[in-house]
Amino acid sequence: MAKTLRVRFQPPLVLTLLILGFFVFIPMISAFEYSIRTPLTGGYGWTHYIWAIREDDFFHYILRSMWLAGVTVTITLFVLVPTLTWLHLSRSKVRGLIDGLSLLPLVIPVVAFAVGAQISFPEFVQNTVLELPFLYFVLALPYAYRSLDIGLNSIPLKTITEAARSAGANWWRTITAVIVPVIRGSVMATIALTFALSLGEYTLTVLLHWDTFPTWVTFVAQDNILGAIAISMMSLIIPFLILTVITLFVPERSMQGRK
């Protein structure tokens, strides 16, 4: 006999979701409506979006920001997954300290962080745009760290690690072929959060005098404010679509050791 799925109506939850939806979507809908206005004809159209796409540097800067975000995601996973795995397995006393340190990017002013972190890099890194992914990684650290930490906390990490090691897998294969697939949901969430933050980061990029998609939007806004709003809408829609695609690849029921 098929089990009947019962959904309990929870007014506080519904009210919270409605408020959240109102807070998020009403401004976006208003901005979209404003971006498709055509003041000369008094109607609506895609004129400003077409203008944005036809701008010479549109694809250059959006692709630049996307590959920088991709590098940031790679750095984040390469650093955090092995580190958090070691912290969980070793039950080291420094875990509490590292948990606290991972929150520092939330409280350190971006101006102080940008200047202080940049001068700590080797000169060959300071002189290239590749310094941005390392700084984006630090900004995304509080969110990426906790996303992976939750995933590792929800699985029998020691058991599956010992099983993989006893089967002859080295540490690298254990992490990539066993642990990462098991915490796939947390890894996907980390990728989504890091990518979205890196793609939209503006303050840090301006302080270090680099040009990316958000800074280019500010520049073109001086000539066409409605076109700049259209570009800003695209910069919101693109990460949203990426998050949606990533979410679709996450299984409905987590395979994190629970049955």
What's 212's DSSP letter? Answer: -
Homologous superfamily of domain range 58-248: MetI-like (1.10.3720.10)
The predicted structure's pLDDT at residue 255: 42
Query: Which sign does the torsion angle of CA 172, 250, 256, 100 carry?
Result: positive
Read off the pLDDT of residues 183-237 as tens digits, 9 standing for 90 and up: 888 888 898 889 888 888 888 888 888 888 888 888 877 777 777 788 878 777 7
Residues 6+ away with beta carbon under 8 Å from 173: 164
Quickly tell me which residue has 């959904």 as its tokens. Answer: 7
* pLDDT for res 251: 52
The residue type of 31 is A
Which pLDDT score, from 0 to 100, does residue 72 have? 94
Do residues 84 and 149 make contact, with C-beta atoms less than 8 angstroms apart?
A: yes
pLDDT at residue 74, as a whole number: 94
What is the spatial distance between Cα 236 and Cα 200, in angstroms, rounded to a whole number? 8
CA distance linking residue 148 with residue 76, whole number of Å: 11
- What is the domain partition of the chain in residue ranges? 58-248
If we measure between CA atoms, which residue out of 148, 126, 123, 147 comes closest to residue 135? Answer: 126
How high is the pLDDT of residue 2? 43
Q: Can you list the residues of the chain whose pLDDT is less than 70? A: 1-9, 246-247, 249-259
- Take residue 188 and report the two structure tokens written for it: 């996907």
Q: What is the pLDDT of residue 249?
A: 63
The identity of residue 134, as a single letter, is F
CB–CB of 140/132 below 8 Å?
no
Q: Strand, coil or helix: what is 183?
A: coil
Q: Could you report the per-residue pLDDT of 144-153, keeping only the tens digit for each?
A: 999 999 989 8
